[in-house]
Amino acid sequence: MNRIANAFASKTNLLNTYFTAGYPSLHDTIPLAKALVEAGADILEIGMPFSDPLADGPVIQGSSSVALANGMSIPVLFEQLQGLRAAVPETPVFLMGYLNPVMQFGVEEFCRQAAAVGVDGVILPDLPLAEYEEFYLETFKKHGLKAVFLITPQTSADRIRHLDSLSDAFLYLVSGPGTTGGTTQPDAVTQAQYFERIAALKLRNPRLIGFGIADKAGFDAACQHAEGAIIGSALIRALEDVDDAPAAAGRFVRGIKQA
């Protein structure tokens, strides 16, 4: 069952929501996944907390610190994800994190367990492309996991086409410079030119825009240039200091997806 292809074929303006496994409480992972999908999230990115998340801003860094202190780890996450497909049967789910913890766990075993619990793909922003092709591509393929690659305004057309050829999921368009949750964005004209340059390449994979998208207006604007958008830091902020994290997550998504 290709949940990724089905999602992109059946909908437009897809909302991909990122949340950190084990945040705000250790056992919130599956309840949050269920609440997000029930409220209208089309794709889930479950963050694997790491002590040195290079691409993440202070909000996601903070959630990772809390999750690690709560006891979250890759083994604990895979134990929790045994209930993933009972909670969200048809929603594409990606694990997002960094290469170091995956290597410590063992790439082959990581892929095996991810596939076994129903994960569809993996996003590792610090995985060098050459290493992926030489060492990991076949392992990902063997276990049916889709790799997602990030594209920035500085990425050359040749590299973008190469990344497109290596993926069967979507391309992650970083909206501008900086880390996740950043408020500094390029001017609208520069950003539109970037998105139009990508569209002109006629890539085979759909595109989702992420970094700095925090509300319905930002989501709607991104959807004018891609098949959807990714929201993470703003969702994490909505889960801070709440009594019922799944309920708060549902309210947040409904606020983004409302007509």
Q: Annotated active-site positions, please? A: 45, 56
Four-residue CA torsion sign, 116, 121, 123, 128:
positive
Four-residue CA torsion sign, 204, 111, 175, 163:
negative
Residue located via tokens 């945040």: 23
200 in Cβ contact with 161 (< 8 Å): no
- How far is CA 227 from its chain centroid? 14
Beta bridge partners of 93: 44
Query: And the tokens for 155?
Result: 């990425």
